[in-house]
């Protein structure tokens, strides 16, 4: 068995749940240069692996009818690497989170569960079997960062420390209180305190795509049928950031990091 590509407790897989898989494949393929590799799903449809330069970078599937009926919108899901999925689910419960899908096997690829933190932000747990997550990360046109926007930063920090054992540190560059988390030697994402400017948007996880030119990427997203959700802006000592909504309604940030 090959070695897992990301440390335990780090983000390791990124998955778009969409209402129009064909449109999503065309959009991200043309926007980011991702190739699409479809794998049939028992009963109906296909699971799409997105590849960049021949290496796995993310995935895509069509929301099930029951998910749509429950009001689940198109979204990007973040998976975190765990050594033992069942033990991680137990930690989620003990820390005040909820379990949306109990641990189950995905053929010979992985064991996974879908859970939510105490504020309701959903994420996935992944115990690798034959599949070990993304092969490309923190490169242009690939996912480089994940971020939790939360209504209660202190509560979130306590929860994620208990579940993942993350180390966290302050980051002063954001417009609100921001904590950077690390599972290994490198920072992998952040926890951000939501303020009144967020309105009634619930707590949630989001992805950041590294790009060479944020403004050009946002303009290209609009050309391809998306829309700008957050116009480009600069964050001191971080870089330039914006957010688009794809044609199916899923949001993703784009970022150009400042040179270190």
Let me know whether 94 and 148 are in one domain: no
Domain termination residue (choose one: 128, 153, 187)? 128
Confidence of residue 256 (pLDDT cuts 50, 70, 90): very high
**Residue 235 to residue 66: CA distance in whole angstroms:** 40
Please give the residue range of the domain that contains residue 19.
Answer: 11-128
Q: How many domains does the chain have?
A: 2
Q: Is residue 3 part of a domain?
A: no
Spell 51-87 as b/e; 16+ CB within 10 A means b: bbeeebbbbbbbbeeeeeeeeeebbbbbbbbbeebee
Let me know whether 86 and 175 are in one domain: no
DSSP 203-223: PEEEEEEE-S-HHHHHHHHHH
pLDDT at residue 218 in the model: 98
For residue 257, the cross-strand partners are 239
Let me know whether 97 and 150 are in one domain: no
β-pair type (122-128, 75-81): parallel
Let me know whether 65 and 163 are in one domain: no
Domain termination residue (choose one: 99, 128, 157)? 128
Q: Is residue 193 part of a domain?
A: yes
Let me know whether 33 and 77 are in one domain: yes
Let me know whether 122 and 205 are in one domain: no
pLDDT at residue 173 in the model: 66
Cα within 13 Å of Cα(93), Cβ side: 12
pLDDT at 42 over 80: no
Beta carbons within 10 angstroms of residue 107's beta carbon: 9
Cα separations in angstroms, 114 against 59, 97, 221: 16, 11, 30
Let me know whether 98 and 22 are in one domain: yes
Let me know whether 109 and 176 are in one domain: no
pLDDT at residue 260 in the model: 59
Q: Is residue 157 part of a domain?
A: yes
Let me know whether 18 and 99 are in one domain: yes
Domain termination residue (choose one: 105, 128, 151)? 128
Tens digits of per-residue pLDDT, 193-236?
A: 999 999 999 999 999 999 999 999 999 999 999 999 999 999 88
Q: If we measure between CA atoms, which residue out of 100, 141, 139, 126 comes closest to residue 12?
A: 126
Tens digits of per-residue pLDDT, 58-103?
A: 999 999 888 899 899 999 999 999 999 999 999 999 999 999 999 9
What CATH number has the domain bearing residue 24? 3.10.180.10
Q: Is residue 5 part of a domain?
A: no
Tens digits of per-residue pLDDT, 99-141?
A: 999 999 998 898 999 999 999 999 999 999 988 899 999 999 9
């Amino acid at each position: 068995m090959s070695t897992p590509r990301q440390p335990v407790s780090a983000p390791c897989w990124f998955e778009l749940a969409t209402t129009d898989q064909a449109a999503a494949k065309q959009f991200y393929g043309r926007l980011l240069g991702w190739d699409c590799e479809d794998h049939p799903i028992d009963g109906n449809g296909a699971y799409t692996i997105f590849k960049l330069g021949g290496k796995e970078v993310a995935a895509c599937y069509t929301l099930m009818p029951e998910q749509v009926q429950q009001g689940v919108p198109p979204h990007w899901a973040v998976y975190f690497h765990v050594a033992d999925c069942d033990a991680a689910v137990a930690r989620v419960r003990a820390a005040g989170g909820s379990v949306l899908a109990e641990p189950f096997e995905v053929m010979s690829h992985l064991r996974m569960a879908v859970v939510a933190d105490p504020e309701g932000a959903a994420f996935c747990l992944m115990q690798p079997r034959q599949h070990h997550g993304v092969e490309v990360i923190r490169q242009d046109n690939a996912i480089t960062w994940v971020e939790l926007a939360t209504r209660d930063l202190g509560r979130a920090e306590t929860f994620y420390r208990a579940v993942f054992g993350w180390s966290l540190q302050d980051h002063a560059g954001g417009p609100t209180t921001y904590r950077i988390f690390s599972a290994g030697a490198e920072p992998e994402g952040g926890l951000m305190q939501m303020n009144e400017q967020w309105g009634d948007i619930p707590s949630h996880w989001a992805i950041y795509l590294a790009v060479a030119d944020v403004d050009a990427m946002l303009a290209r997203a609009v050309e391809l049928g998306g829309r700008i959700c957050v116009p480009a802006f600069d964050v001191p000592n971080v870089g330039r950031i914006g957010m688009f909504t794809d044609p199916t309604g899923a949001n993703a940030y784009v970022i150009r990091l400042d040179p270190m």
